[in-house]
Structure 1
């Protein structure tokens, strides 16, 4: 074995450790998908299409970031898509009084919904999945009540600029996502808040014995998820120019769960990264864009997303089972 071979292997091993095995697999899958779609539709590589992909995944990206923190802490927020819908309609109502009012009301609606989830889980002692499944339905009902069964149009120029404007040449929704990614990454990786979130998801009892205020963190995590969903709702209304009860926002719940699981978050909690979630979001975004360019019927997109979710869960179960497999000779059958 030559010194050059050893050096290449060493560098490769360091790169794999730095990127992470899960993220490396996602990068390879994303690259393969890009090659397949691009070879069939060269228009995929046009700058305008790449920007469109970024804008299209901006809302999912925001919701997935909130879902990442929730899943790492050992919870799950099934209602997050419905919260986006409530915030969207609330923002449209507030926008009639101005841009600031629209943004404030949309974010406040999201925060209130998140606080309700956190309070029910903390004080009602109800399982997070059951709680958010129930509030998913309730928030959808609230959305239809607020909208009165009709679309609420928005004509405020400043508010609409949040969906169509640019910051330093970057579309506002995409710029907001980039800022959110940086903030979530820094908080989760480099602060005590982030370390405590991982600790709660890894072992709640041990975290409590170590002095972590688990109940407060639980409320705060769902409150943050609501605020982020509120921001996504504001951007949704600004992009579409209207607050519509049946906007399709609830679909973001399934998509966000698929993205975080693809990104390596464990349903049991205690594991996951922002980088992995971003790659999961991009994989879903490129897949959806590719299916559109290939003229695949829309309902096949839901089949593809559902399939990816099942695959992600199977991978998580396999990895979890492999780690917990006893070291004794023979192991489990």
Structure 2
């Protein structure tokens, strides 16, 4: 029998389609598309309109800013439970500083925003220093810091809200204005997402962060210092949370000393973990987080448009998160 005859009689078996791998990568995205189709059929005159699509993006913009910052922390293997308090911090102190200065000027507003974000980044870097230098649990330390920040806000404010009449219009426009029909918070979200995506995916710092998240000990032996990147990650998380909070304050037209950021804490984690089971299973990344945030927005908006009771929003969100985690874990188990 010749070599050609042997090849013909013993063909290479066709590779079977891997459903688990497919669903672990694309399941969340398919769920998003399916929900959009279902809600569009259910209320076509309301849901699938440009106005409602922009409304969904506007509703999730603040959540997205906070979740993007949290993604950076989780990339290096750190949890940040202080993001809720930091969002309240950003919203209150931006309004408070502008009230105290009393200037109706874009230049002053920009300076105050930059100052608040820098201060928030410093608090985040303090978190990173305590965690990396002293070996404190990130969960416990950031939870403790959230209490400290909340106490500082209440102490400085005396529990008093800074109202719209005390804030310059140049600040409220950030949360309430539009450019070419697109709400400003949506534009800020898109710009922040693009910057952080480039940072993580196309810079050496970002690649080093992924290496630390994958194997901290191997990264240390390669000369990648965990403490340095812990400071960067936690600083970015704090600044992004404050940005989300001050945009929320601008949208509300008030600087509230409590109850602003807490509502975003759990949903931020949900969005990031849903994103980690999208396209790149088991890997935290900005694009995945964006899909997770959008999924939450579509669920909340769609069920509301359909007239479904609010508690179903929590049930559906939790169910999708569980399914996303199951699909990602199945793929991980098969590789080990």
- 1:200 matched to 2:212? The reply is yes
Q: How many residues align?
A: 307
Q: Structure 1: give runs of 5+ residues left out of the alignment.
A: 1-12, 325-333
Could you report, residue by residue, the CA deviation over 1:93-150 in whole angstroms, capped at 9, with x for unpaired residues? 0121242354234313422331221122122211112222222333333333333223
Equivalents in 2 of 1:296, 1:89: separation in Å?
34
What TM-score, normalized by structure 1, do the two folds share? Answer: 0.84
Q: Which residue of 2 aligns with 1:52?
A: 55
Q: Which residue of 2 aligns with 1:327?
A: none
Select 1:304's aligned residue among 312, 316, 334: 316
Q: Which residue of 2 aligns with 1:124?
A: 134
Select 1:95's aligned residue among 84, 94, 98: 98
Equivalents in 1 of 2:262, 2:313: separation in Å?
16
In 2 relative to 1, CA 270–191 (structure 1 residues): closer, same or farther, beyond 3 Å? Answer: farther
Q: Which residue of 2 aligns with 1:230?
A: 242
Shift of 1:156: 0.6
Equivalents in 1 of 2:224, 2:150: separation in Å?
34
Equivalents in 1 of 2:240, 2:24: separation in Å?
26
**Higher radius of gyration, 1 or 2:** 2
Shift of 1:44: 0.7
- 1:82 matched to 2:85? The reply is yes
Q: Structure 2: give runs of 5+ residues left out of the alignment.
A: 1-16, 104-108
- 1:70 matched to 2:82? The reply is no
Equivalents in 1 of 2:323, 2:26: separation in Å?
17
Equivalents in 1 of 2:84, 2:52: separation in Å?
25
In 2 relative to 1, CA 140–312 (structure 1 residues): closer, same or farther, beyond 3 Å? Answer: farther
Q: Which residue of 1 aligns with 2:28?
A: 26
Aligned partners of 1:94 and 1:103 also within 8 Å:
no
Equivalents in 1 of 2:122, 2:24: separation in Å?
35
- Between 21-30 and 224-233, report the one with greater CA deviation: 21-30
Could you report, residue by residue, the CA deviation over 1:189-225 in whole angstroms, capped at 9, with x for unpaired residues? 1111111001000111111111112211111110011
Q: Which residue of 2 aligns with 1:4?
A: none
Give matches, 1:1-333, under 5 Å.
22-42=24-44, 43-96=46-99, 97=101, 98=103, 99-154=109-164, 155-264=167-276, 271-324=283-336
Aligned partners of 1:88 and 1:243 also within 8 Å:
yes
Aligned partners of 2:175 and 2:185 also within 8 Å:
yes
Aligned partners of 1:59 and 1:232 also within 8 Å:
yes
Aligned partners of 2:60 and 2:293 also within 8 Å:
yes
Shift of 1:180: 1.2
Equivalents in 2 of 1:23, 1:145: separation in Å?
47
Equivalents in 2 of 1:21, 1:68: separation in Å?
22
In 2 relative to 1, CA 45–137 (structure 1 residues): closer, same or farther, beyond 3 Å? Answer: same
Equivalents in 1 of 2:335, 2:92: separation in Å?
45
What TM-score, normalized by structure 2, do the two folds share? Answer: 0.83
Equivalents in 2 of 1:316, 1:56: separation in Å?
28
**What is the Cα-based RMSD across aligned positions, in Å?**
2.6
